Structure 1
Amino acid sequence: MFALTLADTAPTYFFLRRFMPTAIVTDAINTRRGLKWGVPAMLLAVPYALAAISCRAQIEAGGPGWLNLLVILCLWNNLKLLLIGPISLLKLMAVCVREAVARCRMTRALPADDVEHFDEPTLVSRHG
Protein backbone atom coordinates (compact mmCIF):
# COMPACT_ATOMS: atom_id res chain seq x y z
CA MET A 1 0.00 0.00 0.00
CA PHE A 2 2.85 2.36 0.87
CA ALA A 3 4.65 1.61 -2.40
CA LEU A 4 1.48 2.34 -4.38
CA THR A 5 1.01 5.68 -2.62
CA LEU A 6 4.65 6.57 -3.16
CA ALA A 7 4.45 5.62 -6.82
CA ASP A 8 1.40 7.85 -7.24
CA THR A 9 2.76 10.90 -5.41
CA ALA A 10 6.39 10.87 -6.60
CA PRO A 11 5.74 12.35 -10.08
CA THR A 12 3.65 15.14 -8.57
CA TYR A 13 6.34 15.88 -6.00
CA PHE A 14 9.08 16.07 -8.62
CA PHE A 15 6.93 18.23 -10.91
CA LEU A 16 6.20 20.68 -8.09
CA ARG A 17 9.83 20.64 -6.97
CA ARG A 18 11.01 21.55 -10.44
CA PHE A 19 8.50 24.21 -11.50
CA MET A 20 7.13 25.97 -8.39
CA PRO A 21 8.75 29.35 -7.73
CA THR A 22 9.50 28.97 -4.02
CA ALA A 23 11.02 25.52 -4.56
CA ILE A 24 13.29 26.93 -7.26
CA VAL A 25 14.34 29.80 -4.98
CA THR A 26 15.04 27.56 -1.98
CA ASP A 27 17.01 25.12 -4.14
CA ALA A 28 19.10 27.99 -5.51
CA ILE A 29 19.71 29.39 -2.03
CA ASN A 30 20.80 26.02 -0.67
CA THR A 31 23.86 25.97 -2.93
CA ARG A 32 27.24 27.31 -1.79
CA ARG A 33 26.99 30.34 -4.08
CA GLY A 34 23.40 31.08 -3.10
CA LEU A 35 23.71 31.03 0.69
CA LYS A 36 24.38 34.76 0.78
CA TRP A 37 20.99 35.43 -0.85
CA GLY A 38 18.90 33.88 1.95
CA VAL A 39 18.21 37.10 3.83
CA PRO A 40 17.30 39.17 0.74
CA ALA A 41 15.03 36.32 -0.37
CA MET A 42 13.03 36.86 2.79
CA LEU A 43 11.65 39.98 1.07
CA LEU A 44 9.86 37.68 -1.37
CA ALA A 45 7.60 36.69 1.52
CA VAL A 46 5.91 40.09 1.38
CA PRO A 47 4.01 39.51 -1.90
CA TYR A 48 2.81 36.12 -0.61
CA ALA A 49 1.55 37.75 2.58
CA LEU A 50 -0.24 40.44 0.57
CA ALA A 51 -1.79 37.81 -1.71
CA ALA A 52 -3.04 35.86 1.32
CA ILE A 53 -4.54 39.02 2.83
CA SER A 54 -6.19 39.89 -0.49
CA CYS A 55 -7.68 36.41 -0.93
CA ARG A 56 -8.92 36.42 2.66
CA ALA A 57 -10.60 39.80 2.10
CA GLN A 58 -12.34 38.46 -1.01
CA ILE A 59 -13.58 35.43 0.94
CA GLU A 60 -14.98 37.62 3.69
CA ALA A 61 -16.70 39.77 1.06
CA GLY A 62 -18.60 36.74 -0.20
CA GLY A 63 -16.08 35.29 -2.64
CA PRO A 64 -15.76 31.59 -3.48
CA GLY A 65 -14.57 29.18 -0.81
CA TRP A 66 -11.82 27.68 -2.95
CA LEU A 67 -9.81 30.83 -2.32
CA ASN A 68 -9.07 29.32 1.10
CA LEU A 69 -6.70 26.95 -0.70
CA LEU A 70 -4.84 29.91 -2.15
CA VAL A 71 -4.65 31.49 1.31
CA ILE A 72 -3.09 28.30 2.70
CA LEU A 73 -0.68 28.06 -0.24
CA CYS A 74 0.39 31.70 0.09
CA LEU A 75 0.90 31.36 3.84
CA TRP A 76 2.95 28.17 3.36
CA ASN A 77 5.18 29.88 0.77
CA ASN A 78 5.43 32.90 3.05
CA LEU A 79 6.63 30.68 5.90
CA LYS A 80 9.18 28.91 3.67
CA LEU A 81 10.66 32.19 2.49
CA LEU A 82 10.76 33.66 5.99
CA LEU A 83 12.61 30.64 7.35
CA ILE A 84 15.14 30.36 4.52
CA GLY A 85 16.93 33.53 5.67
CA PRO A 86 18.04 32.40 9.14
CA ILE A 87 18.65 28.85 7.92
CA SER A 88 20.90 30.08 5.11
CA LEU A 89 22.84 32.27 7.55
CA LEU A 90 23.49 29.27 9.80
CA LYS A 91 24.57 27.19 6.81
CA LEU A 92 26.82 30.01 5.57
CA MET A 93 28.50 30.29 8.97
CA ALA A 94 29.09 26.53 9.02
CA VAL A 95 30.56 26.58 5.52
CA CYS A 96 32.83 29.53 6.34
CA VAL A 97 34.12 27.78 9.46
CA ARG A 98 34.69 24.58 7.50
CA GLU A 99 36.58 26.48 4.78
CA ALA A 100 38.69 28.36 7.37
CA VAL A 101 39.62 25.08 9.06
CA ALA A 102 40.55 23.58 5.69
CA ARG A 103 42.73 26.62 4.85
CA CYS A 104 44.41 26.40 8.25
CA ARG A 105 45.10 22.70 7.80
CA MET A 106 46.46 23.36 4.33
CA THR A 107 48.93 26.00 5.54
CA ARG A 108 50.10 23.69 8.34
CA ALA A 109 50.50 20.77 5.97
CA LEU A 110 52.65 22.65 3.43
CA PRO A 111 55.77 23.17 5.62
CA ALA A 112 55.41 19.69 7.08
CA ASP A 113 55.62 18.16 3.60
CA ASP A 114 58.80 20.15 2.75
CA VAL A 115 56.92 22.07 0.08
CA GLU A 116 58.30 25.49 -0.73
CA HIS A 117 56.21 28.49 0.19
CA PHE A 118 54.29 30.20 -2.57
CA ASP A 119 55.84 33.60 -1.92
CA GLU A 120 59.39 32.30 -2.49
CA PRO A 121 60.60 32.60 -6.08
CA THR A 122 61.20 29.12 -7.44
CA LEU A 123 61.45 29.79 -11.16
CA VAL A 124 64.24 31.55 -13.00
CA SER A 125 63.12 34.81 -14.53
CA ARG A 126 62.86 34.83 -18.32
CA HIS A 127 64.11 38.41 -18.53
CA GLY A 128 67.44 38.02 -17.01
Structure 2
Amino acid sequence: MIRLLWTASVRTRYFLRRYMPTNILLDLIRTRRGLKWGIPAMLLAVPYLLAASICTNFIGGGGPGWLNPLVLLFIWNAMKFLIMGPLSLVLLARVRVLETAARRRAHRSHPTARRQQTVTADVPS
Protein backbone atom coordinates (compact mmCIF):
# COMPACT_ATOMS: atom_id res chain seq x y z
CA MET A 1 0.00 0.00 0.00
CA ILE A 2 2.79 2.41 0.90
CA ARG A 3 4.60 1.55 -2.32
CA LEU A 4 1.46 2.41 -4.31
CA LEU A 5 1.12 5.78 -2.55
CA TRP A 6 4.82 6.49 -3.04
CA THR A 7 4.64 5.69 -6.75
CA ALA A 8 1.51 7.80 -7.21
CA SER A 9 3.10 10.79 -5.48
CA VAL A 10 6.30 10.48 -7.53
CA ARG A 11 4.39 10.29 -10.78
CA THR A 12 2.15 13.20 -9.80
CA ARG A 13 5.18 15.31 -8.93
CA TYR A 14 6.85 14.39 -12.22
CA PHE A 15 3.73 15.35 -14.18
CA LEU A 16 3.38 18.68 -12.38
CA ARG A 17 7.08 19.55 -12.76
CA ARG A 18 7.08 18.67 -16.43
CA TYR A 19 3.80 20.07 -17.76
CA MET A 20 2.52 22.88 -15.51
CA PRO A 21 3.42 26.33 -16.91
CA THR A 22 4.44 27.91 -13.61
CA ASN A 23 6.81 25.05 -12.80
CA ILE A 24 8.34 25.22 -16.27
CA LEU A 25 8.88 28.96 -15.87
CA LEU A 26 10.40 28.57 -12.42
CA ASP A 27 12.74 25.87 -13.73
CA LEU A 28 13.87 28.25 -16.48
CA ILE A 29 14.47 31.00 -13.91
CA ARG A 30 16.65 28.65 -11.84
CA THR A 31 19.13 28.21 -14.71
CA ARG A 32 22.25 30.37 -14.90
CA ARG A 33 20.87 32.50 -17.73
CA GLY A 34 17.46 32.84 -16.09
CA LEU A 35 18.54 34.02 -12.62
CA LYS A 36 18.39 37.66 -13.70
CA TRP A 37 14.66 37.28 -14.40
CA GLY A 38 13.70 36.39 -10.83
CA ILE A 39 12.72 39.90 -9.77
CA PRO A 40 10.63 40.67 -12.90
CA ALA A 41 8.95 37.27 -12.47
CA MET A 42 7.71 38.42 -9.07
CA LEU A 43 5.29 40.64 -10.97
CA LEU A 44 3.48 37.50 -12.13
CA ALA A 45 2.25 37.09 -8.57
CA VAL A 46 -0.05 40.10 -9.03
CA PRO A 47 -2.41 38.49 -11.57
CA TYR A 48 -2.54 35.31 -9.48
CA LEU A 49 -3.48 37.26 -6.36
CA LEU A 50 -6.04 39.25 -8.34
CA ALA A 51 -7.60 36.04 -9.66
CA ALA A 52 -7.68 34.61 -6.12
CA SER A 53 -9.40 37.76 -4.90
CA ILE A 54 -11.98 37.67 -7.67
CA CYS A 55 -12.75 33.99 -7.01
CA THR A 56 -12.99 34.62 -3.27
CA ASN A 57 -15.44 37.48 -3.79
CA PHE A 58 -17.45 35.33 -6.17
CA ILE A 59 -17.58 32.48 -3.63
CA GLY A 60 -18.58 34.93 -0.88
CA GLY A 61 -21.43 36.17 -3.04
CA GLY A 62 -22.95 32.71 -3.33
CA GLY A 63 -20.77 31.22 -6.06
CA PRO A 64 -19.95 27.53 -6.40
CA GLY A 65 -17.76 25.93 -3.79
CA TRP A 66 -15.56 24.17 -6.37
CA LEU A 67 -13.71 27.47 -6.81
CA ASN A 68 -12.04 27.03 -3.39
CA PRO A 69 -9.28 24.72 -4.72
CA LEU A 70 -8.73 27.18 -7.54
CA VAL A 71 -8.20 29.96 -4.99
CA LEU A 72 -5.63 27.80 -3.20
CA LEU A 73 -3.88 27.12 -6.51
CA PHE A 74 -3.74 30.84 -7.35
CA ILE A 75 -2.31 31.70 -3.94
CA TRP A 76 0.21 28.85 -4.14
CA ASN A 77 1.45 30.01 -7.56
CA ALA A 78 1.68 33.61 -6.35
CA MET A 79 3.75 32.52 -3.36
CA LYS A 80 6.10 30.54 -5.62
CA PHE A 81 6.82 33.64 -7.71
CA LEU A 82 7.12 35.93 -4.69
CA ILE A 83 9.67 33.63 -3.08
CA MET A 84 11.62 33.07 -6.31
CA GLY A 85 12.49 36.77 -6.69
CA PRO A 86 14.75 37.19 -3.65
CA LEU A 87 15.93 33.60 -3.95
CA SER A 88 17.14 34.21 -7.50
CA LEU A 89 19.19 37.18 -6.28
CA VAL A 90 20.87 35.01 -3.65
CA LEU A 91 21.54 32.28 -6.21
CA LEU A 92 22.89 34.80 -8.72
CA ALA A 93 25.27 36.28 -6.15
CA ARG A 94 26.49 32.80 -5.21
CA VAL A 95 27.05 31.83 -8.85
CA ARG A 96 28.96 35.04 -9.58
CA VAL A 97 31.21 34.54 -6.54
CA LEU A 98 31.93 30.96 -7.63
CA GLU A 99 32.64 32.07 -11.20
CA THR A 100 35.02 34.79 -10.01
CA ALA A 101 36.85 32.33 -7.76
CA ALA A 102 37.16 29.82 -10.61
CA ARG A 103 38.46 32.53 -12.94
CA ARG A 104 41.09 33.55 -10.38
CA ARG A 105 42.13 29.94 -9.81
CA ALA A 106 42.44 29.36 -13.54
CA HIS A 107 44.47 32.54 -13.95
CA ARG A 108 46.83 31.60 -11.11
CA SER A 109 47.30 27.99 -12.16
CA HIS A 110 47.86 28.65 -15.85
CA PRO A 111 51.66 28.78 -16.36
CA THR A 112 51.62 30.76 -19.61
CA ALA A 113 49.60 33.51 -17.99
CA ARG A 114 52.42 34.11 -15.48
CA ARG A 115 55.07 33.94 -18.18
CA GLN A 116 53.25 36.46 -20.36
CA GLN A 117 52.93 38.84 -17.42
CA THR A 118 56.66 38.71 -16.71
CA VAL A 119 57.56 39.10 -20.38
CA THR A 120 55.32 42.14 -20.84
CA ALA A 121 56.61 43.64 -17.59
CA ASP A 122 60.25 43.35 -18.79
CA VAL A 123 59.67 44.96 -22.16
CA PRO A 124 60.23 48.75 -22.02
CA SER A 125 57.56 50.83 -23.66
TM-score (norm 2): 0.87
- Name the counterpart of 1:126: none
Matched, 1:70 2:70: yes
Deviations 1:63-99 (A, max 9, x none): 0111111111100000000000000100000000000
Q: Percent identity?
A: 52
- Partner amino acid, structure 1, of 2:47: P
**CA apart distance, 1:10:** 2.1
**CA apart distance, 1:114:** 4.6
Matched, 1:117 2:112: no
Q: Distance in 2 between matches of 1:117 and 1:74?
A: 59
- Partner amino acid, structure 2, of 1:66: W
Q: Distance in 1 between matches of 2:56 and 2:116?
A: 66
- Partner amino acid, structure 1, of 2:76: W
Q: Distance in 1 between matches of 2:26 and 2:69?
A: 22
Gaps of 5+ in 2: 120-125
- Note the 1:11-26 alignment, pairs <5 A: 11-26=11-26
Structure showing the higher helix proportion among its residues: 2
**CA apart distance, 1:17:** 1.1
- Name the counterpart of 2:87: 87
Gaps of 5+ in 1: 121-128
- Name the counterpart of 1:10: 10
- Name the counterpart of 1:59: 59
- Partner amino acid, structure 1, of 2:13: Y
- Partner amino acid, structure 1, of 2:46: V
- Partner amino acid, structure 2, of 1:74: F
Matched, 1:100 2:100: yes
C-alpha RMSD of matched pairs (Å)? 1.8
Deviations 1:8-51 (A, max 9, x none): 22222211111111101110011111111101100111110000
TM-score (norm 1): 0.85
**How many equivalent pairs are there?**
118
- Name the counterpart of 2:123: none
- Partner amino acid, structure 2, of 1:17: R
